[in-house]
Amino acid sequence: MEGWCHPGEAHEEGPFGEWTGYYASGVRPAPVIQVQCVMHRNDPIMVGVPPNRPPHDYSYMRSVLRSAMLSDALIKAGVPDVRGVWCHEAGGSRLILIVSIKQRYPGHARQAGFVASQCQVGAYLGRYVIVVDEDIDPANTFDVLWALATRSDPAKDIDIIRRAWSGPLDPIIPRGPEVGFNSRAIIDACKPYEWIDKFPAVSESSPALRARMIGKWGKILSWETEPPGSAHAAERLE
């Protein structure tokens, strides 16, 4: 579109959907363009991705990029043995951060959680940071929730940071002087380091046995790559 935008000519516009999945930013004046010409192509490829309730293309794209950035930030900050990072799409890549580590020393899990929540990549408008062991895929929500349910004690393993860096798009913060601040929950969903060697062993088939069974029965049972109990298998059953 081509046109003219004259100083002082404006109309109220908004609110618009935001990456949080809610309307935000309110109504405000925006410049008006007097359109003079519209050019187009036949059979266009539409690339517009309005931010709505996640997940959508916009949240998926941001999750991948921000996960790589957060992983890089943790390593540069000196957090060792980071095995995986996922900035979950349900939180628009900001509100739920999951970090997988191989525990090396007492406090390692807390260190990873606090650094993830307050480094430049993770600091703005965060909410929850969940730290899991290296056997948990941070991008597998079912695995993460299993670790959260079985390896964390709410009374011992949740730390709260108050007056952290939020923003005007945070839907849980009321309009007023509190805008700009929020709290963070750092959840240690790792095995307790002080008795990690005595923690109950995971009850599951070996990867080799699972691969053999999938190869033999997968087509019949319609799970060529994932056994029952996985998140995707449950979706197919539904």
13 classed as catalytic: no
Q: What is the 3-state secondary structure (H, E, C) of the chain?
A: CEEEEEEEEEEEECCEECCCCCEECCCEEEEEEEEEECCCCCCCCCCCCCCCCCCCHHHHHHHHHHHHHHHHHHHHCCCCCEEEEEECHHHCCCCEEEEEECCCCCCHHHHHHHHHHHCHHHHCCCCEEEEEECCCCCCCHHHHHHHHHHHCCHHHHEEEEEEEECCCCCCCCCCCCCCCEEEEEEEECCCCHHHHHHCCCCCCCCHHHHHHHHHHHHHHHCCCCCCCCCHHHHHHHC
From the candidates 9, 12, 13, 18, which is the catalytic residue? 18
Q: Which residues are catalytic?
A: 18
